[in-house]
Amino acid sequence: MTSKPLIELRNVYRSFEVDGQHLPVLQDINLEIQPNEILCLVGESGCGKTTTGRIIAGLLPQSSGEVLVNGQPLSAYSRQQQAELRRSLQIVHQDPFASLNPAHTIGQILSYPLKRHRMVKGRAELRRRIWELLTLVDLTPPGDIVTKYPHQLSGGQRQRVSIARALTVNPKLIVADEAVSMVDVSIRIGLLKMLHRLREQLGLAIIFITHDLALAKYFAWEGRIAVMYLGRIVEIGPTPEVIAHPAHPYTRALLAAVPEADPEVTRHKQHLALRSEEIPRLSEIPQGCSFHPRCPFFLPGICDAKTPELLQPPNFIQLARCTPLNDQGTLIPYEPAQYR
């Protein structure tokens, strides 16, 4: 983690106007992604993972805050550089049935970016490159695939085509938005292994978005995990640390709910009960720490008053957004009777 970050988000805020109401979908997002790094964004559905991914890929402007690419905002670059930098950030969508145009064959889908950006010279080279890309994503024999239409492929195969399409422009970063959540479990591992291999082979950075902490743990073991809750990053740090010593109560709850391979372990795992199962709506985000109505370590007078900062708590390596933890280094279970 020495080189200049590939991309950096500073105090990014994003809201959407729905029915005349401004919904704050992302708040205080601070992230930096180094070249060749793996970063996992984890959180319940609706917490803003996709929105973050789209802002990173340059597909959605932030409402306020800064997005720096190679240390500078995009606007500081020339038009041509902007286009090149944008192109170096690609996204792989969640739904393999919506991310490929049904009207084109796989060969055509891969040929458009190659031709448009003059990545190849001449027809023979174009065809060779398409074959190379398909081989790279383990779609073999390529001759069988090039003339197929997306609907003739399985979900896993389509996802590989999506990845190959992103690779046509030699990106530096790929945002994989729930890239495996819609394919069969039996195929997932293959896809994840392939992503790992591509990262090593091509020097890619990967932002892996998932709602499944078990998947994040597996995929990002050498990287970092950022846990999101209601539009904020509540904990971020090296994956082994976050998994072994979760800091934020929300991460602890998530981890406690992850089933282990060994049923004995799962059965005796200590369940961390949330005080409420209900996720607040974006239109009424709770005061103070937005997690406090559900938090088992709720500290009245503090958690519902002060919005916590993302800081490094004592004795932890990762950063967390929890006032009691940051102040005292420990958490005390909430006892309602005490205060009644």
Ligand X SMILES: Nc1ncnc2c1ncn2[C@@H]1O[C@H](COP(=O)(O)OP(=O)(O)O)[C@@H](O)[C@H]1O
**Which residues lie near another protein (CB under 8 A)?**
57-59, 83, 86-87, 89-91, 93-95, 98-104, 107, 112-113, 116-117, 123-125, 127-128, 131-132, 135, 140-144, 146-147, 149, 151-152, 162, 165-166, 168-169
Q: Are 236 and 39 in contact (CB under 8 A)?
A: no
Residue 18: name its binding partner from another protein, ligand X, Mg ion, none (Cβ under 5 to 8 Å by kind): ligand X
| Distance linking the first and last C-alpha atoms of the chain | 49
Q: What CA–CA distance (Å, rounded) separates 274 from 293?
A: 9
Smaller CB separation from ligand X, 89 or 133:
89
66 - beta bridge partners?
Answer: 10
Q: Could you count the other beta carbons within 10 Å of the beta carbon of residue 276? A: 10
Q: Which of 27, 34, 50, 52 binds Mg ion (CB under 5 A)?
A: 50
Measured from the Cβ of residue 259, the count of other Cβ atoms closer than 10 Å reads 11
Q: Which of residues 208-237 bind Mg ion (CB under 5 A)?
A: none
- Interaction partner, residue 151 (Mg ion, ligand X, another protein, none; CB < 5-8 Å by kind): another protein
Write the DSSP assignment of 204-273 as a string of letters: -EEEEEES-HHHHHHHTTTSEEEEEETTEEEEEEEHHHHHHS--SHHHHHHHHHSPPSSHHHHHHSPP--
- Judged by beta carbon, residue 26 or residue 38, the one nearer ligand X is 26
Q: Which is nearer to Mg ion, 50 or 290 (CB)?
A: 50
Site residues (CB under 6 A) for ligand X, limited to 270-299? 282
Using CB under 6 A, pick the residue from 51, 62, 210, 239 that binds ligand X: 51
CA–CA gap between residue 285 and residue 280 (Å, rounded): 6
Name the binder of 51 from Mg ion, ligand X, another protein, none, CB < 5-8 A by kind: ligand X
Note the residues at the interface with Mg ion (CB under 5 A): 50
